Amino acid sequence: MIKKSDVLEVSRLILSKYPLCDRCLGRQFHLLNEKADSEEIGHSIKLCLHLKAAKLLNEGKRKVAVSILRALARSGFDRSEAMLESLGVKNSHEEKCYVCSNLLFSNLDAFLRLVESQMSEVEFNTFQVTSSIPKEILSKDDLIKIEFGISTGESIKTEFNRVISNLIEEKIKKQHSAISPDITLLLDPIKKIVIVHPNPLYVYGRYRKLSSGISQTRKVGKDPLTSIEGLLASVFVPAFKAKDVKLHGAGREDVDALMLGSGRPFVLEIIEPKKRTVVLSSLENTFNSSFSGLAEISSLRFCSRKEIVKIKTIGEKISKVYRLRVKADSIPSKEEIAKVEKMVQNLIIYQRTPTRVLWRRADKVRKKVIKWIKIFPINEKEMEVTLEAQGGTYVKEFIDGDNGRTKPSLAELLNTPLKWESLEVLEVKGE
């Protein structure tokens, strides 16, 4: 750690070895006065050293004075160059800055105009900056700090990001924010590349699925409009001028199951939206009138990314009410039905991963709860079964037993083989 009183001496030592621009010198002392601009600090130090040299000259110490003036002239300090000329000392001209080669901070206005033109396509209020600065520059910047034991400096990357952010705030009137900014600017100041990356938006809502044959998310090779995610994409992508959307559901139902009641909660991630102010209620109306009879959405509101985690974890905690049509070899008697309905009150069942999903899920035993069941015979061969099951229960397998992989099953309890014919989710409970 250098003392304040050493600033001048350290600077003299640095400049006698390396030519530095005002910023690269001033940056080494940034922490001593964070409000001051590095360029101003660097320039002031050079002026002080110049005065020191002038004093030494007055005292007749020409050799020391000339060596200081040479170092300053080499670092681009014009007054020192002029003074050397008046002393008749030749060949003391400005050299490129050892650290930044004068590439980073010169012509910032032109770079800012490029940034501005790239941003004009995108709607945003807050931004943050990340920049790619060549390794060589970063390591030279570090080297100065190490060689001269400086711990009061800022890194050149942090400084560049700060300077450009301040300029954008000042000239383009947008707000810098490190916490969930609307856009991230990826800058390469050397190659003059500006990439504007709009950060995602999140919309919470609920969907109802009114027709079977619709999956929750898109499947490769399938018509995207046979999924809730694809239907949402067709409305949300153009409205937000987005690249795409991704659906995060609170659990999922099978492709052939309906999702009724108040609907299943979801968070729609809107990827790279160029537009951010959209009236959600009008999107809801567009969706519901476009896909009437297929699917419906409701309760739309903007939310944060955190809600994805929240709805993913509530999947297990929530329970769902299902209505199934079930075919039976023989319809049980009223008494048998009453007995089973009584048995299935918070009944614990054990399910090994169903045969139909074994190819994509690990084979393990899951413990689930069936809260209640109601059984209504419809005719000689069919019954309507309504039940409430814990989130994540394989309901079809609870009906037919999946060859003994789910125990107990309704078929086992009623003592007759059963086959489910249709399934609807009536309600998602308890978030």
Binding mask 253-292 for Zn ion (x = CB under 5 A): ----------------------------------------
Nearer to Zn ion by C-beta: 19 or 251? 19
Strands 382-390 and 319-328: antiparallel
DSSP state of 330: S
User: How many residues line the site for Zn ion (CB under 5 A)?
Assistant: 5
Of 7, 14, 21, 410, which one interacts with Zn ion (CB under 5 A)? 21
The region of 10-18, 65-73, 95-103, 363-371 touching Zn ion under the rule CB under 5 A is 95-103
- Residue 97 touching Zn ion (CB under 5 A): yes
Of 56, 66, 71, 100, which one interacts with Zn ion (CB under 5 A)? 100
The region of 98-106, 165-173, 289-297, 299-307 touching Zn ion under the rule CB under 5 A is 98-106
- Residue 99 touching Zn ion (CB under 5 A): yes
Least Å from the CB of residue 249 to Zn ion: 53
Nearer to Zn ion by C-beta: 24 or 370? 24
The region of 96-104, 195-203, 362-370, 381-389 touching Zn ion under the rule CB under 5 A is 96-104
Least Å from the CB of residue 24 to Zn ion: 3
Least Å from the CB of residue 173 to Zn ion: 29
| Collapsed DSSP state (helix, strand, coil) of residue 345 | coil
Nearer to Zn ion by C-beta: 67 or 102? 102
* Two tokens, residue 187: 């800058």
Nearer to Zn ion by C-beta: 26 or 401? 26
13 close to 135: Cβ distance less than 8 angstroms: no
Binding mask 22-51 for Zn ion (x = CB under 5 A): --x---------------------------
Is 37 part of the annotated catalytic residue set?
no
Strands 126-131 and 319-328: unpaired
The region of 13-21, 39-47, 65-73, 203-211 touching Zn ion under the rule CB under 5 A is 13-21
Q: Which of 381, 402, 281, 284 is CA-nearest to residue 330?
A: 381
Nearer to Zn ion by C-beta: 99 or 300? 99
What whole-number distance in Å separates Cα of residue 219 and Cα of residue 75? 62
What whole-number distance in Å separates Cα of residue 274 and Cα of residue 286? 20
At residue 255, what are phi and psi to the nearest 5 degrees? -60, -35
The region of 93-101, 156-164, 283-291, 312-320 touching Zn ion under the rule CB under 5 A is 93-101
Q: Which of 71, 70, 65, 67 is CA-nearest to residue 52?
A: 65
Q: Report CA 176 to chain centroid distance, whole Å.
A: 17
Please count the residues of the chain: 431
Residues 6+ apart with CB under 8 A from 407: 349, 350, 401
Q: Which of 305, 82, 48 is CA-nearest to residue 201?
A: 305
Least Å from the CB of residue 138 to Zn ion: 12
Least Å from the CB of residue 142 to Zn ion: 14
What whole-number distance in Å separates Cα of residue 98 and Cα of residue 120? 36
Q: What DSSP element (H or E) covers 303?
A: strand 295-303
Catalytic residue (choose from 78, 223, 254, 256): 254
Tokens 């004093």 map to which residue?
Answer: 55
- Residue 206 pairs in a beta bridge with 265, 298
What whole-number distance in Å separates Cα of residue 414 and Cα of residue 373? 13
Q: What DSSP element (H or E) covers 127?
A: strand 126-131
Least Å from the CB of residue 21 to Zn ion: 3
Nearer to Zn ion by C-beta: 97 or 201? 97
Least Å from the CB of residue 99 to Zn ion: 5
Nearer to Zn ion by C-beta: 95 or 336? 95
Residues that bind Zn ion (CB under 5 A): 21, 24, 97, 99-100
> Which residues carry out catalysis?
254
